[in-house]
Amino acid sequence: MDVTLSVNGVSRTASVEPRITLADVLRDELGLTGTHVGCEHGVCGACTVLLDGRSVRSCLLFAVQAAGQEVTTVEGLAAADGTLHPLQKAFHDAHGLQCGFCTPGFLMAARELLDENPSPTESEVRTWLSGNLCRCTGYQNIVDAVLLAAERMRGAP
Amino acid sequence: MKPAAFEYLAPRSVEEAVALLAERGEDAKVIAGGQSLVPMMAFRLATPAALVDLNGVSELDHARVDRDTLVLGATARHRSVQELAGLRERCAMVAEAVGLIGHPPIRNRGTAGGSIAHADPAAEWPALLLALDGEVDAMGPGGRRTIAAADLFRTYFTTALAPDEILTEVRLPLPAGAVGSAFVEVAQRHGDFAVAGAGALMIVADDGSVADARLVLIGVRDTAVRSVAAETILRGASPTDPVLDDATNAIRSEIDPVSDVHGSSAYRRRVAIAVARRAVTLARDRAHAAVA
Ligand SMILES: Cc1cc2nc3c(=O)[nH]c(=O)nc-3n(C[C@H](O)[C@H](O)[C@H](O)COP(=O)(O)OP(=O)(O)OC[C@H]3O[C@@H](n4cnc5c(N)ncnc54)[C@H](O)[C@@H]3O)c2cc1C
Ligand code: FES
Ligand code: FES
């Protein structure tokens, strides 16, 4: 089946079987390997992308189901000139990653949080990100990074 | 692990969906949020030959409070329910339970109808349906029928819905007046399926006695379960702490939790009684606050 969807603002078409997930289409057909695939059954959050602005597990969505919708991946976070998104910058500055496998999922989940709540508390950040697993950092620096990004995005000193 | 091949069908109306499901027979399955079905397909625990996708059926996509009833179409997401204005004030038990379902990405896709059709004994929606004496509409080749909550859940992952029926609407009556309610659970992490959980609702009469009480438990046997024993003790009584103790201890005879990696049967029993007590206490205190 031919599936046309908008990915990071660009209309893309792929020819895929219905059983192929959005995660696999992004990675294998469209070459967007920033979206990572960990567990493939909804538990780890590595594959989190935004669908029409809302976070979803791209391993639990068949690409045919996303036809006509707007998908945002980690590749869509930075500006066109390569300037990092405040979340990416904060993950860098606050050491919010080690191996980086989980990072795209955390960034996309955090992006949805900050879109909806620009001033989350530490506890709100932890609860929101509870669906994303990280095997390296112990989470503390990830939470710090999201709080730092929120502060910078609010324009606080 | 990748799902096996299937035929993808995207009907635009309930009528069309029912016809497609009937035509493809037992090997076809409905997909709503896909948050339970797709993991099962990835494990090849489910290998449907055809998937009938309800996401393009616009008549199923609604969520609203109609007078005293929460009305949800089959594709109303957990998230859409969370976003209904004033729901927490109207029925805290529903708002709290839905907030405990999975994580934001799961709630953005998963549906109340899908959760009820899936009938996981640790899921929140079947418990809410039972506690609020709700009902669902199902549409099949033979037409539409309404199934009351008490007649719906049979055992693990099994409901009274026939394989060729589509659950189209969920209705939950929300009690009004001097009412308080709560949903409390213990889980490994926020958003995980509960080790055990409890929803409670209490209505207090003018003289301070309990006019109505509901207690529902999850994760403690093959389906979510209303505690008749606890409700019987509470109704008509004065809801003092010793009475709440008696009521929540009475659930012992009605639950039969299994042992698994997250806890032994004995541990789950203790957790169930503890969360039941917390939920009933909150329901009582909130009912009193509603009177004041
Ligand atoms: C990581 C993770 C954590 C989760 N945590 C929780 C949790 O804490 N609590 C909880 O309750 N759930 C949890 N879930 C499950 C989630 O809530 C699902 O959304 C829900 O159980 C099923 O709804 P769905 O719309 O996704 O259904 P689907 O996955 O699409 O379908 C599930 C089953 O129901 C059938 N079905 C679906 N809709 C209909 C219909 N309208 N008529 C007839 N049959 C239908 C399907 O054929 C399938 O057999 C979790 C899921 C994941 C991946
Ligand atoms: S790969 Fe999708 S949640 Fe793990
Ligand atoms: S940085 Fe390695 S898994 Fe998170």
Full DSSP string of B32-78:
SS-TTHHHHHHTTS---SEEEEGGG-GGG--EEEETTEEEEETT-BH
Task: Considering only the beta carbons, identify the residue of B5, B55, B105 that sits closest to A57.
Answer: B105
* pLDDT single digits (tens) B10-59: 999 999 999 999 999 989 999 999 999 999 999 999 999 999 999 999 99
pLDDT of residue B133: 98
Residue A155 pLDDT exceeds 70: yes
Task: Considering only the beta carbons, identify the residue of B34, B51, B189 that sits closest to A130.
Answer: B189
Residue B285 token pair: 């205190």
CB contact under 8 A, B102 and A127: no
pLDDT above 90 covers what percent of chain B? 95
**CATH T-level topology, domain B7-56:** 3.30.43
Decide if B144 contacts B135 (C-beta within 8 A).
no
Supply φ then ψ for residue B275, to 5 degrees.
-70, -35
Give the global pTM: 0.97
CB contact under 8 A, A18 and B189: no
CB contact under 8 A, A60 and B43: no
Domains and CATH numbers, chain A: 2-75 (3.10.20.30), 86-154 (1.10.150.120)
The preferred substitution site among A136, A139, A141, A142 for testing ligand 3, maximizing ligand atoms within 8 Å of CB, is: A136
Å from CA of B117 to ligand 1 middle: 8
Å from CA of A5 to ligand 2 middle: 21
CB contact under 8 A, A60 and B39: yes
How far out from the chain centre does Cα B162 lie? 19
Q: How far apart are CA A121 and CA A153, in angstroms?
A: 15
Return the number of other C-beta atoms located less than 10 Å from residue B169's C-beta: 22
A21 neighbourhood in chain B, CB within 8 Å: 2-3, 38
A156 pLDDT band (50/70/90 cuts)? low
Å from CA of B79 to ligand 1 middle: 13
Please report where in the chains the tokens 């390569």 appear, as a residue: A82
Decide if B60 contacts B43 (C-beta within 8 A).
no
A27 neighbourhood in chain B, CB within 8 Å: none
Q: What is the dihedral of CA B124, B127, B131, B134, to 10 degrees?
A: 90
* pLDDT single digits (tens) A94-126: 999 999 999 999 999 999 999 999 999 999 999
The preferred substitution site among A134, A140, A143 for testing ligand 3, maximizing ligand atoms within 8 Å of CB, is: A134
CATH 3.30.390.50 residue ranges for chain B: 179-291
Residue A55 corresponds to which amino acid?
S
A70-72 sheet: strands from edge to edge? A10-15, A2-7, A70-72, A48-51, A54-57
Asked if the ipTM is above 0.90, the reply is yes
Greatest CA separation for chain A: 51
Beta-strand pair B63-66/B69-73: antiparallel
Residue A33 corresponds to which amino acid?
T
Residues in contact with ligand 2 (CB, 6 Å cut-off): A 37-40, 42-47, 57, 59
Å from CA of B118 to ligand 1 middle: 6
Is some CB atom of chain A closer than 8 A to the CB atom of B46?
no
Return the number of other C-beta atoms located less than 10 Å from residue B162's C-beta: 12
Beta-strand pair A2-7/A70-72: parallel
Beta strands in A8-77 (DSSP E): 10-15, 48-51, 54-57, 70-72
Return the number of other C-beta atoms located less than 10 Å from residue B209's C-beta: 13
Q: Which residues are CB-neighbours of B225 under 8 A, at least 6 positions away?
A: B130, B216, B217, B254, B255
Question: Hey, is A21 helix, strand or coil?
Answer: strand
The preferred substitution site among A26, A35, A44, A106 for testing ligand 2, maximizing ligand atoms within 8 Å of CB, is: A44
Residues 170-229 of B with CB under 8 A from A: 189-191
pLDDT of residue B68: 94
Please report where in the chains the tokens 């879109």 appear, as a residue: A115
CATH 3.30.465.10 residue ranges for chain B: 58-173
Query: Which DSSP helix (H) or strand (E) runs through A32?
Result: none
pLDDT of residue B166: 98
Is some CB atom of chain A closer than 8 A to the CB atom of B249?
no
**CATH T-level topology, domain B179-291:** Enolase-like; domain 1 (3.30.390)
Q: How far apart are CA B276 and CA B55, in angstroms?
A: 36
CB contact under 8 A, B2 and A65: no
Supply φ then ψ for residue B173, to 5 degrees.
-70, 130
pLDDT of residue B262: 86
Residue A157 pLDDT exceeds 80: no
Q: Rg of the Cα trace of chain B? A: 19
pLDDT of residue A2: 94
Task: Considering only the beta carbons, identify the residue of B1, B109, B190 that sits closest to A130.
Answer: B190
Å from CA of B193 to ligand 3 middle: 24
Look at the alpha carbons of A99, A102, A105, A108 in this order and tell me if their dihedral is positive or negative.
Answer: negative
Q: Which residues are CB-neighbours of B66 under 8 A, at least 6 positions away?
A: none
Whether A133 lines ligand 3, by a CB cut-off of 6 Å, is no
Please report where in the chains the tokens 């669906």 appear, as a residue: A131
User: Which residues does chain B have with pLDDT short of 70?
Assistant: none
The CATH code belonging to domain B58-173 is 3.30.465.10
* pLDDT single digits (tens) A28-66: 999 999 999 999 999 999 999 999 999 999 999 999 999
CB contact under 8 A, B8 and A64: yes
Query: Which DSSP helix (H) or strand (E) runs through B187?
Result: strand B179-187
CB contact under 8 A, B104 and A61: no
pLDDT of residue B7: 98
